[in-house]
Amino acid sequence: MRTWRVGTFSMGASLLFLGIFLLLSQLFGMDLMHVMISWWPIILIVLGIEILVFLFLSRQEKPFLKYDFLSIFFVGIIGTIGIGFAILSSTGIMDKMDNVLKREERTIDLPSLEKQLSDEVKRVVVDTGHYPLTIEGTSTKEMTMFGTYRALLGKKETLLTNAEEYVSIHEKGDTIYVKVKGLPNEVAGPFDRYADLSATLLVPSDVKLEVNGNDNSITLKPRTLISDWTIDQTSHLSVQLPNSSDVKVTATEIQDFQGNREKWQMTEEPHSEVPVIKLGTFQTGKGEHNLTITNSYQLSFSTVD
């Protein structure tokens, strides 16, 4: 007569259900991690049913349970793994790991910034933060910022939902202060992620502009400039100035100049090993307005029709 050892049926049923769930996950594209989290309670149900059935079918007055400890041990390991997955899922770590494994490099539009400037605003001060920036003049009395950012993102992940997350604006008196913030980065082992952005800022041409480049690359397109602009401390500054402008360009402390030198008046540092432009000037029209460039490692200058 065979002896029924509790645990044998549970182990077989556990393997059967696990195999069914894994098969369904392959056939219907179910998330394997969610399968491992959700299926394990069946083990406890099957083991409880097995014990109740044994007690019900036993003809002994005081039935004595006999356990297959090897099977119980195996079932316990599977159950422990399932409980571990459930605990990690409740802390959010599993979702985080799931997103990390599914990350891909994506380029997404920045949430656009639009701010109407009042007549009291006469000056805009820009801090570019750690990113390159394109600055263009506009004839409207509105400041706009748009562009794209690139990052490793999971399907459910987003870095930015509004413009305030990547740029801050403060108005004080007749001046607006604009600062480009750093994008969210992660430096925690397997969750390491770096994000970068490329943005364009439109500034009214009749408002004074002061830019701190923080040794970043800046592209400047003043268009019809009818105010004074100052650009300081850039690694590379590209300027495209219309021939129809009435602008006097003054550049100081430039180590590398790219452009038509014949149209410039330049004074270089006489005793420097690397030629440094101590002072350079260029003028279009009557030069009624000023574009001042200081402390730029490389200056690329061109005029456009």
The DSSP secondary structure of 65-113, one letter per residue, reads --B-HHHHHHHHHHHHHHHHHHHHHHHTHHHHHHHHHT-EEEEEEPPPE
pLDDT over 90 at 88, yes or no: no
Task: Give the pLDDT confidence score for residue 144 in this predicted structure.
Answer: 96
Q: Distances from the Cα of 292 to the Cαs of 28, 141, 179, in angstroms?
A: 64, 23, 20
Q: How far apart are CA 21 and CA 26, in angstroms?
A: 9
Q: How confident is the model at residue 190 (pLDDT cuts 50, 70, 90)?
A: low
pLDDT over 70 at 152, yes or no: yes
- By the 8 A CB rule, do 131 and 195 touch? no
Q: Please state whether beta strands 289-304 and 175-180 pair in parallel, antiparallel, or not at all (unpaired).
A: unpaired
Strand-pairing partners, residue 186, are: 193
Q: What are the residue boundaries of the structural domains of the chain, listed by start?
A: 8-91, 104-304
Helix 41-57 / helix 69-91 crossing angle, nearest 10 deg: 150
Q: Kindly state the helix (H) or strand (E) to which residue 142 belongs, with its residue range.
A: strand 142-153
Q: How far apart are CA 261 and CA 274, in angstroms?
A: 17
Task: Give the pLDDT confidence score for residue 67 in this predicted structure.
Answer: 61
Q: How confident is the model at residue 105 (pLDDT cuts 50, 70, 90)?
A: confident
Q: Please state whether beta strands 123-127 and 175-180 pair in parallel, antiparallel, or not at all (unpaired).
A: parallel
pLDDT over 80 at 135, yes or no: yes
pLDDT over 70 at 300, yes or no: yes
Task: Give the pLDDT confidence score for residue 91 in this predicted structure.
Answer: 61
Residue with more model confidence, 183 or 67: 183
Q: How confident is the model at residue 64 (pLDDT cuts 50, 70, 90)?
A: low
pTM above 0.75, yes or no: no
Helix 8-27 / helix 69-91 crossing angle, nearest 10 deg: 40
What is the pLDDT averaged over residues 72-93? 67
- By the 8 A CB rule, do 246 and 288 touch? yes
How large a percentage of the chain has pLDDT more than 70?
Answer: 70
Strand-pairing partners, residue 294, are: 232, 252
Q: How confident is the model at residue 1 (pLDDT cuts 50, 70, 90)?
A: very low
Mean pLDDT rounded to a whole number for the chain:
81
- By the 8 A CB rule, do 2 and 63 touch? no
- By the 8 A CB rule, do 16 and 75 touch? no
pLDDT over 60 at 4, yes or no: no
Q: Distances from the Cα of 237 to the Cαs of 15, 187, 293, 295, in angstroms?
A: 66, 31, 9, 10
